[in-house]
Structure 1
């Protein structure tokens, strides 16, 4: 960041006092729209410190779901080279004129607000003709990208968790933002979503998303400021997610996802009872496994699930159209 820009950013306007947010920023508690944003300067500055921007001032940030922009402001003041704030929330846009849009106008182009869908803005952001990421070049996958970071405040909803899950899958396939390299992520997420992402084998929260996350990235819970630091007041925690140099999946993504979806429909049952959901005759795979197949599905490690998926992929009689077969099984269970 230039010597001219730094003092100018020091004059960025403060956002309204947190006591006024419920009046000024009309969020929605409707299902699927539980947008939660960092509200206090204290929490925003703590998160920015965790990102270590001060020691890497050539960093471009893509921020998903910035809300009024408290974290955006902190990252700009903390030394980010450029911030692309991706926000299209209908419930926010009018009220954001006293928040993030004002920050954009005052930031001398350090902050740019993009009215795009935060769930999938990457075609637009990566379009060479738009030049939205000046100076950001693709980097080899053997190290974490030094000039680009993805951050966000994930909605407290199934939609929000789906956005995060799709990011993890994209990192495995090196799609979207990950076409530029091994981009680290800092995400504020609701505590229950965090518990599901990092749940240990045998714990109630462990599900197929846990396994896909474990296969895709190193996930480290960082700070948990408390409800009073967020609008709306939910218990959110900051995660650091760094894609693995090599994903911990030994089969195709399609096969692994099919196995996880099938087996975790009855995660409290033993594998030898549930494996038939992979297809007629799939119990023949049990004799090919190196571990005790009496184990309950929820106790399976990623290594054991990789073994199941690999044996399934090598099975000559496995279903050839996996997801049509899954739909048929789910329809039978509902009946």
Structure 2
């Protein structure tokens, strides 16, 4: 087919299509013109009116707008609504109330109730103060943890709630029977969270302080405020009957440091432990929990695990699986779509899984008062070579430390204290570490300066010159 024939064929096709369209529109217009008015009897006012000429563009009963025409057909016919005729009202759909509004109606001041968990990422924006921090978001998980913290039969508990975030766990604690909890002391310094924590002070048991839970000065101010004057000092063997501490731990380095510092305060009875064996409960990254609870010969066992296990009785205060997966239980959740990273929330410092850990100072302390420096020195020195047999790495404690070996594997010792000289530091039990530290402490030639190697630092500085 030549180009001329093709052009004529296309033109004739377009012409036929236009004629067909006009005939369809004409037939519909003819049907419209022959439509009869409704069968309803006219009123007296309408009966006296001169009847409209059939075929007008807008009649009383039907209009072109009511005809089942396509938009293009209506445009060609020129739909014109009769002037003065009221527009047909569109069906109104009642506006659905949001969950936030529904919750706040006649239920107290703004902020008393938390927004729905699925909206937290838009309500609580990412700011510098909350970087790396997480908070319990799932109300069911919070209720379960609250019941485990303050079980049935508890009376007059005084709780220090540190870094609670918006306060999902705090609210779960308040929902328990009132006789269980006497006082909740909240430490939180993020303003967006305080907006939802301050309204809780409507309950006389709650006191909210805008102080950082990661600064030791906050606890000094807490004592000076008189909030702990009704806490008894208990010197018995049982855990403290009323006071306990709960804290959300960050996934960054300062989170692990905070846990270690709290555990190191136990042997000498510092901080809250001057009141007795005060239980401390952490919601913390799973990798920190694993490091603290690492058993002998574990590749993750290090100084942190030995110090923690020597200072406290450690256990999970909730099933590990109850806080997993992260996305179902914690805020913030990732806002990533596909492989595209989030622009607002940096999750690099937040491990994907969290755990709950309970630490209670030991009834019979293994680390004796004022011995913390000796433990710290021995652990720091030997864990540098934690995969090396003790017989080959003991001189890291100081020149001539090999003379201590006969005292470490003495057969007359209790079996749990005898150390196999071919074993490696990460394989030692807590009892064996206690014996090694005791022998080192009594060694007359031990180094006098047990801090970080001054000799090494001086040599390093001299080499730079």
Specify the TM-score bucket, using the shorter chain as the normaliser: 0.7 to 0.9
- Please name the residue that 1:3 is paired with: none
- Please name the residue that 1:315 is paired with: 443
- Please name the residue that 1:84 is paired with: 185
Displacement of 1:54 after TM fit? 4.0
Q: Name the SS of the counterpart of 1:34 in structure 2.
A: coil
Following the alignment from structure 1 to structure 2, what is the Cα–Cα distance between the partners of residues 29 and 94? 12
Residue 235 in 1 paired to residue 336 in 2? no
- Please name the residue that 1:262 is paired with: 381
- Please name the residue that 2:122 is paired with: 23
Q: Name the SS of the counterpart of 1:81 in structure 2.
A: strand
Moved more, 135-144 or 208-217: 135-144
Q: State TM-score, norm by structure 1.
A: 0.87
Residue 99 in 1 paired to residue 196 in 2? yes
Following the alignment from structure 1 to structure 2, what is the Cα–Cα distance between the partners of residues 332 and 286? 29
- Please name the residue that 2:430 is paired with: 302
Following the alignment from structure 1 to structure 2, what is the Cα–Cα distance between the partners of residues 220 and 271? 30
Displacement of 1:223 after TM fit? 2.5
- Please name the residue that 1:4 is paired with: none
Q: Name the SS of the counterpart of 1:146 in structure 2.
A: coil
Q: Name the SS of the counterpart of 1:145 in structure 2.
A: coil
1:122 to 219, 222, 227: 219
Displacement of 1:115 after TM fit? 2.0
Q: Name the SS of the counterpart of 1:295 in structure 2.
A: coil
Moved more, 205-214 or 274-283: 274-283
Following the alignment from structure 1 to structure 2, what is the Cα–Cα distance between the partners of residues 195 and 331? 36
- Please name the residue that 1:204 is paired with: 299
Displacement of 1:190 after TM fit? 0.8
- Please name the residue that 2:263 is paired with: 168
Q: State TM-score, norm by structure 2.
A: 0.63
1:277 and 1:329 in contact (8 A); partners too: no
Deviations 1:31-65 (A, max 9, x none): x9411111111111111111134422300100111
If asked which structure has higher relative contact order (CA below 8 Å, sep 6+), I would say: 1
Following the alignment from structure 1 to structure 2, what is the Cα–Cα distance between the partners of residues 331 and 265? 20
Residue 292 in 1 paired to residue 420 in 2? yes
Displacement of 1:315 after TM fit? 0.9
- Count of residue correspondences: 317
Displacement of 1:116 after TM fit? 2.2
Q: Name the SS of the counterpart of 1:186 in structure 2.
A: strand
- Please name the residue that 2:46 is paired with: none
Unaligned runs of 5+ in 1: 1-7
- Please name the residue that 2:50 is paired with: none
- Please name the residue that 2:28 is paired with: none
Following the alignment from structure 2 to structure 1, what is the Cα–Cα distance between the partners of residues 206 and 251? 25
- Please name the residue that 1:5 is paired with: none
1:223 to 319, 330, 339: 319
Following the alignment from structure 2 to structure 1, what is the Cα–Cα distance between the partners of residues 131 and 299? 26
1:67 and 1:87 in contact (8 A); partners too: yes
Displacement of 1:331 after TM fit? 7.7
Deviations 1:174-213 (A, max 9, x none): 1111111111122111110110111100111111110111
Does the C-alpha gap of structure 1 residues 263 and 332 become closer, same or farther in structure 2, counting only changes over 3 Å?
farther
Q: Name the SS of the counterpart of 1:55 in structure 2.
A: coil
Moved more, 147-156 or 225-234: 225-234
Q: Name the SS of the counterpart of 1:83 in structure 2.
A: strand
User: Over the residues paired in the alignment, what is the CA RMSD in angstroms?
Assistant: 2.6
Q: Name the SS of the counterpart of 1:16 in structure 2.
A: coil
Following the alignment from structure 1 to structure 2, what is the Cα–Cα distance between the partners of residues 126 and 323? 31
1:53 and 1:75 in contact (8 A); partners too: no
Following the alignment from structure 2 to structure 1, what is the Cα–Cα distance between the partners of residues 141 and 426? 35
Higher strand share: 1
Report 1:23-172 matches (<5 A).
23-27=122-126, 33-78=131-176, 79=178, 80-88=181-189, 93-104=190-201, 106-107=202-203, 109-119=204-214, 120=216, 121-127=218-224, 130-133=225-228, 135-172=230-267
Following the alignment from structure 2 to structure 1, what is the Cα–Cα distance between the partners of residues 231 and 151? 16
